Amino acid sequence: MESTTIINILAFLGTFIAMEGVAWSNHKYIMHGFLWSLHESHHKPRKGRFELNDFFFVFYASVAMVLMYFGYDNLDYRFWMGIGVTAYGFTYFLLHDVFIHRRGKFLDKIDNSYFQAMRKAHKVHHKKMGKEDGEEFGLLLFNKKHFRKQAE
């Protein structure tokens, strides 16, 4: 396998994996911090199809587009990093918006222990309606105690 192919694969996978940490830290320190005014809409009952919190999508999509734009000519590592951000965003949309918050009904029947624990962890996060004292800021990684509760 060519070295640039390996670098591009690592750029994609590394970015996808790193995005969980980026999402966790942004959620904890930015969304539950100085941009709470946008994220707060996510912790209240939805009054329509969209909420102010959805603007965070625009930020991450912009990062992905800039990376893909600057890496497009040679399809270099920047392009594949942008694809990694995009793949994480799509995963986040499917799992968070469609599966957890049921913005679509086509993933309702998933009965896997990992996904049920994910849903439980997110419910724990939403138990606190304010910006302080939150728990479970990640999506794909969360406390293993939620698995034990699912097994009972």
Question: So what's the pLDDT on residue 152?
Answer: 54
pLDDT given for residue 15 in this prediction: 98
Q: What is the pLDDT of residue 118?
A: 94
Beta strands in 80-140 (DSSP E): none
- Element (DSSP H or E) covering residue 25: helix 3-25
User: Domain residue spans in the chain?
Assistant: 3-107
8-state DSSP, 44: S
The residues, ordered by sequence, that sit 6+ positions from 149 with a Cβ below 8 Å of its Cβ are 117, 120
DSSP assignment, residue 73? T
pLDDT (0 to 100) of residue 150: 53
Q: Mean pLDDT of successive 10-residue segments in the chain (152 residues)?
A: 92 98 96 93 83 92 98 96 98 93 83 92 85 88 81 53
Per-residue model confidence (pLDDT) at position 49: 78
pLDDT of residue 102: 85
- Per the document, the length of the chain is 152
pTM: 0.90
